[in-house]
Chains A and B, each alone.
Chain A
Amino acid sequence: DTGVSQNPRHKITKRGQNVTFRCDPISEHNRLYWYRQTLGQGPEFLTYFQNEAQLEKSRLLSDRFSAERPKGSFSTLEIQRTEQGDSAMYLCASSLGTSGGAQFFGPGTRLTVL
């Protein structure tokens, strides 16, 4: 069990640029989640996948954000035309089975938009 991995761990970008993050879940886990955490706050849900299907998106996920999980394995989160307010820690989690299963988190990608 190698755990959830995320890349890159840190990303510094200029306002207006596009960025893409990757998450590799625990191999047998069919559910994958993205959360965002800003300084001093708890993580907030962005979206989740069951296998390759994106089943729920938060209102926090504006039109500039898009997430994919093309083969039901790894996932990518892209932010287009970044804004300073996008600066945050982006966390990925995975779980096995149906609703209510324990979620396991990756180390996160810390995004700084200058």
Chain B
Amino acid sequence: GIQVEQSPPDLILQEGANSTLRCNFSDSVNNLQWFHQNPWGQLINLFYIPSGTKQNGRLSATTVATERYSLLYISSSQTTDSGVYFCAVERLGAQKLVFGQGTRLTINP
């Protein structure tokens, strides 16, 4: 099946710093989503981005489908950005999301 690798596994930053999270995947996809998992376990949709670039406030994402990677950028980090960020992909012809292992982001005040 498709492999999804996220890096780094852990990231610790000071408030106000910028961060870049990476997601590599091993096959062609027709869906790629970024999620933030809150402390209660709910997956919050950040981006639906099988290709191209999108921005939403301090967050932006870019997926280069031909090179099989996606990047999530967080600018001017706030403590509320802390948590686990997941990348998930749906391979062409499949009907399910395959998740990476996540990046645990800690923003210190």
Where the two chains meet, the residues of A that have a C-beta atom closer than 8 Å to any C-beta of B are 31, 33, 35, 37, 41-45, 48, 55-56, 58, 89, 91, 93, 99-108, 110
A100 adjacent to B40 (CB under 8 Å): no
Residues of A close to B98: CB separation below 8 A: 45
Residues of A close to B90: CB separation below 8 A: 99-100
Selecting from B13-21, B41-49, B59-67, B69-77, the interface stretch reads B41-49
On chain B, the number of residues with a Cβ less than 8 Å from chain A's Cβ atoms is: 24
A55 adjacent to B95 (CB under 8 Å): yes
B30 adjacent to A107 (CB under 8 Å): no
Interface residues of chain A: helix, strand, loop or mixed (majority):
strand
0/1 per residue, B64-107, Cβ < 8 Å to A?
Answer: 00000000000000000000001010100111111111100000
A86 to B90, CA, bound (A): 25
The 3 closest A-B pairs by CB, nearest first: A42-B99, A100-B30, A102-B48
Q: Looking at the complex, which one of B33, B40, B86, B95 makes contact with A99 (CB distance below 8 Å)?
A: B95
Residues of B close to A105: CB separation below 8 A: 35, 42-43, 45
Residues of B close to A91: CB separation below 8 A: 43
B94 adjacent to A99 (CB under 8 Å): yes
